Amino acid sequence: MSNPVISGFHPDPSICRVGDDYYLACSSFEYFPGVPVFHSRDLVRWTQIGNALERPSQLPMTTETHSSGGVYAPTLRYHDGRFWLIVTVVAAGGNVLFTATDPAGPWSDPIPLPDVHGIDPDLAWDDDGTCWCTVAGGAQVRLDPRTGETLGEPQQVWSGTQGALAPEAPHLYKIGDHWYLMIAEGGTERGHAVSVARGPAPDGPFEPCPANPILTHRGTHHPVQNTGHADLVQAPDGSWWMVFLGVRPGGGTPGWHVLGRETFLAPVTWVDGWPVVGEIVDGTPPGSFRDDFDLAELQHGWISLRSRPAELCTTKERAGRLTLRARGASLDERDATFVGRRAQNLRWRARTLIDPAQGRGGLAVRLDERHHYEIEATDGQVQVIARIGSVRTVVAEHAVPAGPLVLTIETEGRQGPGGPCDGPDRLLFGIEGSGVLAGLDGRYLSTEVAGGFTGRVIGMYAAAGSVHFDWFTYEVLMEGT
C-alpha cells in the first residue's frame, strides 16, 4: 500500500519552496493549535516545525465551533521576503491572512479579509506585484495583502468541469508563458479529482486541459482513494511535484478510512504545456513516539479541542507530569479537556501511566463528540466506554487497586477471510498486567460512518477533578500483528 509523505489527519496540503527548503501547511479544523507547519529538504521526509495559529488571538474557537468546523484549507506562499498564510477560519467569521518571517513562527495576529467571500482562498502575485486572491467556486479579486483591502469587484473565472460537484481548492501559478488555475472538484470523497486550465493572464480567459481530470483514482482499485486538493512546487533542479490529499480505505464495502485525509506526493511532467501527474511516491511511515512531559511546553504534535487554557493543561506543576483538569464531564462535550496526537499508522499501540486519585479520566480514540472510544479510570475502577452516534454505553468494567496504572489501546487487523461488511480494524482496550478488557469494531470511528473532515486522534483526557499522566507512548505495530 502506498505510504503518504505526511500520514494521518493532515489534509489540504499547501506547499512553497525557499531555496533548498520546502514548507507545507495543512488544515486543522476544530483542533488547537491550528495549521501545522512542516519542513523538508527532499519532499519525502517531513518534520513539524510549529503550528501557525498557536495563540487564542489568532484562533478564537469556542463551543460554538462544531467538529469539522474551525480552520479550513490554508494556502502557504513566500513572497517579497515573507511567508504568507491565507485561510478560512470559520470561528472568526471568514477569511484571514497571517504573515511571518520564519515559518516556524511566531506568526502575526490575523489580518481580516471581510470582502473575500468563500472558502479555500489562494494567493498569487503577478510580475508587477499585484496580489490575486481566488476562492472556491472561481471568484477572484485583487487584494492588498498587507491591509486586507480588496481592490475592485470580484470577478468570476474558471470553475472547472460544467456540472461537477464542489469546485474548490484553487491555486493560481505563473509557469512559463501561461497562468495556470488548478482546482479540485467532484467532492472530497470517492469522486475527488484535480483539474487545470490555463490562460494568458491571472484573470484568464482560461481554457481547460483536454485531459482533465489530471489526477483522480475514482472508479479504480488503487489503495489510495479520494485524491484531490493539490498544490504544485518546483524543485531546485527544475523538476515539478504535486502534493495532494488522499485516504487509505480498508475493510469491506464501502471501505472505511480511519486516519483521515493524508498528504501524498507525485511527480509532474509537462507535455504540450499541460501538467501530467505520475505515480505516487512512497513516503517513510512515522515511527514510535514517547513523551515523558519533561518540557515546559507540549511538543508541536499535541492538539486539543478548540482551546488549551493553561490552567486546565500544564506540564509546569511538576517536571515529568502532565496535569489535566476537567472542564466538560466527558468527551461528549465540546469543551472537554483533551490532549491528543493524530493517529498516523494503521497498526499501533498507545499506553499511558495515569494517576486518577484526584479525578476521573483516561486514554481515548476520538473522531468527534459522537464517535469516540475510551478506557477511563477512577481510583479503584476502570471502564471501557463506547460512544457511537446517539448511543453511549459502558462495555466493560474492572476493579483495580488504588493508585497509578497503565492504560493501553491498540489496533488489530481483520482476522480470517473477511467479507463485504468487515470493518477495517478492531480497537483493543486494556490495563497493563490485567490484559484486554474489550475489543470494539473500528468502522464506527471512520469518516464513512461519522462523516466530517478529520481522522482519529489518540490522547488523554480529564472528565472530573484533576488527572495526572507521567508518560505517553505510541508504538508502531507491524501489519497483521
Together in a domain, 59 and 160: yes
Model confidence over 333-389: pLDDT tens digits? 999 999 999 999 999 999 999 999 999 999 999 999 999 999 999 989 999 999 999
Report the chain's mean pLDDT, rounded to a whole number: 95
For residue 479, pLDDT over 80 is answered with no
In a domain, 272, yes or no: yes
Q: Kindly report the CATH number assigned to the domain that includes residue 346.
A: 2.60.120.200
CA 71, CA 11: separation in Å to the nearest integer?
11
Q: What is the dihedral of CA 229, 234, 237, 241, to 10 degrees?
A: 10
In a domain, 258, yes or no: yes
In a domain, 424, yes or no: yes
- Choose the final residue of a domain: 212, 247, 277: 277
pLDDT of residue 481: 41
Of the listed 12, 368, 422, 425, which one is catalytic? 12
For residue 269, pLDDT over 50 is answered with yes
Together in a domain, 337 and 269: no
Together in a domain, 343 and 456: yes
Query: Which residues, other chains included, contact 43 with Cβ-Cβ below 8 Å and sequence gap of 6+?
Result: 5, 22, 233, 235, 241, 243, 265, 281
For residue 480, pLDDT over 90 is answered with no
CA 335, CA 305: separation in Å to the nearest integer?
7
- Choose the final residue of a domain: 254, 277, 300: 277
In a domain, 9, yes or no: no
Of the listed 30, 122, 168, 374, which one is catalytic? 168
For residue 438, pLDDT over 90 is answered with yes
For residue 415, pLDDT over 60 is answered with no
What domain range is 30 assigned to? 14-277
Closest among 188, 186, 74, 69 to 120, alpha carbons compared: 74
For residue 192, pLDDT over 80 is answered with yes
**Residue listed under C-alpha cell 497483521:** 480
In a domain, 388, yes or no: yes
What mean pLDDT do residues 426-446 have? 97
More confident residue, 50 or 423: 50
Number of domains in the chain: 2
Model confidence over 271-283: pLDDT tens digits? 999 999 999 999 9
Q: Active site includes 317?
A: no
Q: How distant, in Å, are the alpha carbons of 28, 309, 339, 376 from that of 312?
A: 21, 5, 10, 18
For residue 226, pLDDT over 70 is answered with yes
In angstroms, how far is the first alpha carbon of the chain from the final one?
Answer: 17
Together in a domain, 254 and 398: no
For residue 227, pLDDT over 70 is answered with yes
More confident residue, 90 or 426: 426
Together in a domain, 27 and 56: yes
Q: Active site includes 189?
A: no
What mean pLDDT do residues 449-469 have? 98
In a domain, 172, yes or no: yes
Together in a domain, 307 and 261: no
pLDDT of residue 163: 79
Lowest-confidence region among 163-167, 203-207, 245-249 = 163-167
Query: Which residues, other chains included, contact 227 with Cβ-Cβ below 8 Å and sequence gap of 6+?
Result: 192, 193, 194, 215, 216, 217, 244, 245, 246, 264
What mean pLDDT do residues 394-407 have? 96
Together in a domain, 259 and 376: no
Model confidence over 1-60: pLDDT tens digits? 578 999 999 999 999 999 999 999 999 999 999 999 999 999 999 999 999 999 999 999
Model confidence over 78-104: pLDDT tens digits? 999 999 999 999 877 799 999 999 999
Per-residue confidence band for 154, with pLDDT thresholds at 50, 70 and 90? very high
Together in a domain, 161 and 215: yes
Q: How many CB atoms lie within 10 A of CB 319?
A: 11
**Residue listed under C-alpha cell 489540504:** 12
Q: Kindly report the CATH number assigned to the domain that includes residue 56.
A: 2.115.10.20
> CA angle, corner 442, sides to 436 and 445, nearest 5?
120
Grid cell of 356 as nine digits: 486518577
What mean pLDDT do residues 225-249 have? 98
* CB crowding 373-400: b at 16 or more within 10 Å, else e: bbbbbbeeebbbbbbbeeeeeeebebeb
In a domain, 6, yes or no: no
CA 316, CA 261: separation in Å to the nearest integer?
34
In a domain, 3, yes or no: no
Together in a domain, 267 and 298: no
Where on the phi/psi map is residue 417: left (φ > 0), alpha (ψ -120 to 50), or beta? alpha
What mean pLDDT do residues 393-413 have? 96
Together in a domain, 205 and 228: yes
Q: How distant, in Å, are the alpha carbons of 251, 422, 480 from that of 416?
A: 12, 10, 11
For residue 450, pLDDT over 50 is answered with yes
Together in a domain, 228 and 296: no
- Choose the final residue of a domain: 277, 301, 321: 277
* CB crowding 67-87: b at 16 or more within 10 Å, else e: bbbbbbbbbbbeeeeebbbbb
Together in a domain, 293 and 271: no
pLDDT of residue 417: 52
pLDDT of residue 1: 55
